[in-house]
Chains A and B, each alone.
Chain A
Amino acid sequence: MSEEVTKNIIVRDDEDYIINMGPQHPSTHGVLRLEVCLNGETVKYVIPHIGYIHRAIEKMSESDTYKQIIHLTDRMDYLSAHMNNEAVCLAVENALEIEVPKRVQYIRVVLDELTRLASHHLWWSAFGMDLGALTAFFYGMRDREKILAIFEESFGSRLLHSFNTPGGLMHDVHPDFQKHTMEFVRYFRKKLPEYKQLLTDNVIFHNRTQGIGKMSRETAIAFGVTGPSGRGSGFACDVRKVAPYGLYKEIDFNEILYDEGDSFARYLVRMDEMEESLNILEQVTDNIPEGDYTAKMKSIVKLPEGEYFQRVETARGELGIYIVSDGKKFPYRIKFRSPNFSNLFVLNTLAKGGLIADLVAISGSLDLVIPDIDR
């Protein structure tokens, strides 16, 4: 057996000293239960128990039209709500071979990157809090607030803005959208060095994350760990590069890759991605062309009989959506390949043999959103 497999084997024993982290625990960031077996402070194994927030989104989608599914996908990975919406929209648009107006593509990219930034802000805040740096939490939240204000201005809601619809957008963005986005980009460029001083360069932070939870490239591929967590192990899995969708073919940006595979590498990937998102925003925001905000669509969308697959890069990894259609207005079956589900189950391999505090650092660096795991 390969090393990746043997490392994941769990041998239970009646004498095990087991503590339950969760479902209510400050560092699981949601209703996830980790059954942690300890030997002193050393972790012997971790068994994640999921399903506390299962809402049967896939089953509910089978009785919703394609336009109605959008609002359900918001609630999976609520921090990348826009990307989740986009995945459904792109799948439907590709199936119907609809040409989306250029303006919509531009706005979608801006929203993608703003959502990614907001999500990484929240991750940075929560990661700092997991490691005990409470002030980091408030600085991250402070800057995230500015993005949410932009969202609220244009979509009316701050987190779950069901703004995409197959064929385009629900309505046009606010006239001040570009101005405020560029203001935020300038503002955040000034604040980013503070993040570096407060956490990235901190010697205690280095000690807590460097060499902790090492994940090899093979392990990442074996478990299907995607997104920044996978790229921290040198696994080039950015869907924006691998299978470009929307406008990403025409944008000049780098895929961030680190080879170390520890918690610190995963941290650095996200920090660099924030910078990269700012670069993309600077390229795109000022060049949004005039035009329609939606393509001509029939009021009832029906997909031709067949199977369709679309993947997008959310803030946490690769979201795949697989639609089986029997030609009716409801999908016959929808399957979401959610990034967090795969990212969670590598936890045992990474945390085994470490300390309890390392487990917190590792689960923080994997950046899990629990509703996306359970769906």
Chain B
Amino acid sequence: MNSVIKYFTDIYKGVRSLWAGMRVTGKYFVRPGEIVTEQYPENRATLKMEDRFKGEVIMPHDKNNQHQCTGCGVCELNCPNGSIEIITKKVPNEDGKMVRVIDKHIYHLSMCTFCELCIKTCPFNALAWGQDFEHAVFDRSKLDKVLNKPGSSLKKKEAKS
């Protein structure tokens, strides 16, 4: 007799546990307000990335088209996978002396692992994170970027007061 009782209690317990699961899914079915999907291309206008979001490495330029990169090469040295290449050139300054300035700061986005070491180690805070994340391109060469804008120059250090 015990086995018969066990047989039916097993059925009862099984059905009850199944019903508990169905209640969970059923609850969400009648409460569609809980939908969490991000409708990405539609919400592009309202999409706000976090300030610290690591989209790509950029070099901030001010309104005079001036940046802070001296071309010292610390970022190139610190990059673990060679995503950064620094090409410098020598130009005469006001005193007529030849000084080394940045010619091209080449950044290979395709190789970047977003470890933040270049930004962290830059002694002049010349690099920063950009929030742009739409990097899909048809040609990989388009991911090799030159960070300093054409015609830009090194920002003069403000005279210490």
A–B contact, 8 Å CB criterion (strictly below): yes
Chain B, residues 1-39, CB within 8 Å of chain A (1/0): the string is 000000000000110011011011100000000001000
Cβ–Cβ < 8 Å partners of B25 in chain A: 135, 198
Question: B52 and A202: CB pair below 8 A?
Answer: no
Cβ–Cβ < 8 Å partners of A201 in chain B: 17, 20-21
Chain A, residues 61-104, CB within 8 Å of chain B (1/0): the string is 00010011011100000000000000000000000000000000
Cβ–Cβ < 8 Å partners of B13 in chain A: 203
Is B124 in contact with chain A by the CB < 8 A criterion?
Answer: no
Question: A202 and B18: CB pair below 8 A?
Answer: yes
Cβ–Cβ < 8 Å partners of B18 in chain A: 202-204
Q: Given A71-B115, A202-B18, A203-B18: A156 and B80 within 8 A (CB)?
A: no
Is B85 in contact with chain A by the CB < 8 A criterion?
Answer: no
Q: Name the one of A68, A72, A153 contacting B117, with C-beta atoms under 8 angstroms.
A: A68
Main secondary structure of the interface of A (DSSP, over half): helix
Question: B21 and A198: CB pair below 8 A?
Answer: yes
- CA–CA, A282 and B113, complex, Å: 33
Q: Name the one of B20, B53, B120 contacting A156, with C-beta atoms under 8 angstroms.
A: B53
How many B residues touch A, CB cutoff 8 Å? 24
Question: A162 and B116: CB pair below 8 A?
Answer: yes
CB distance from A211 to the nearest CB of B (A): 16
- CA–CA, A153 and B52, complex, Å: 7
Chain A, residues 318-339, CB within 8 Å of chain B (1/0): the string is 0000000000000000000000
Cβ–Cβ < 8 Å partners of A165 in chain B: 120
Q: Name the one of A156, A171, A174, A194 contacting B54, with C-beta atoms under 8 angstroms.
A: A156
Q: Name the one of A142, A155, A162, A202 contacting B17, with C-beta atoms under 8 angstroms.
A: A202
Q: Name the one of B14, B17, B114, B121 contacting A157, with C-beta atoms under 8 angstroms.
A: B114
Within 8 A of B (CB), among A17-69: 64, 67-68
CB distance from A330 to the nearest CB of B (A): 12
Is B78 in contact with chain A by the CB < 8 A criterion?
Answer: yes
Question: A162 and B21: CB pair below 8 A?
Answer: no
- CA–CA, A71 and B79, complex, Å: 11
CB distance from B76 to the nearest CB of A (A): 13
- CA–CA, A157 and B114, complex, Å: 9
- CA–CA, A142 and B52, complex, Å: 23
Cβ–Cβ < 8 Å partners of B113 in chain A: 71, 160, 162
Question: B115 and A162: CB pair below 8 A?
Answer: yes
Within 8 A of B (CB), among A133-154: 135, 142, 145, 152-154
Question: A203 and B114: CB pair below 8 A?
Answer: no
Question: A156 and B50: CB pair below 8 A?
Answer: yes
Is A2 in contact with chain B by the CB < 8 A criterion?
Answer: no
Question: B117 and A67: CB pair below 8 A?
Answer: yes
Is A6 in contact with chain B by the CB < 8 A criterion?
Answer: no
Question: A197 and B21: CB pair below 8 A?
Answer: yes
Please name the residue on chain B nearest to A67 by beta carbon: B117
Question: A71 and B53: CB pair below 8 A?
Answer: no
Is A251 in contact with chain B by the CB < 8 A criterion?
Answer: no
Cβ–Cβ < 8 Å partners of B54 in chain A: 155-157
- CA–CA, A198 and B53, complex, Å: 35
Within 8 A of A (CB), among B76-120: 78, 80, 113-117, 120
Q: Given A157-B114, A203-B14: A152 and B53 within 8 A (CB)?
A: yes
Chain A, residues 191-215, CB within 8 Å of chain B (1/0): the string is 0001001110111100000000000
Q: Given A153-B52, A155-B52, A203-B14: A170 and B116 within 8 A (CB)?
A: yes
Q: Given A135-B25, A157-B114: A71 and B80 within 8 A (CB)?
A: yes
- CA–CA, A118 and B66, complex, Å: 43
Beyond contacts A70-B115, A153-B50: 17 other A-B pairs, Cβ-Cβ < 8 A, are: A67-B78, A68-B80, A68-B115, A71-B115, A152-B52, A154-B52, A160-B114, A162-B113, A162-B114, A162-B116, A171-B120, A174-B52, A194-B24, A197-B24, A198-B25, A201-B20, A299-B121
Q: Which residues of B contact A (CB under 8 A)?
A: 13-14, 17-18, 20-21, 23-25, 36, 50, 52-54, 78, 80, 113-117, 120-121, 129
Give me the 5 closest cross-chain CB pairs, A-B, nearest first.
Answer: A71-B115, A68-B80, A156-B54, A156-B52, A203-B14
6 contacts between A and B (CB under 8 A): A68-B80, A156-B52, A156-B114, A197-B20, A202-B20, A203-B17
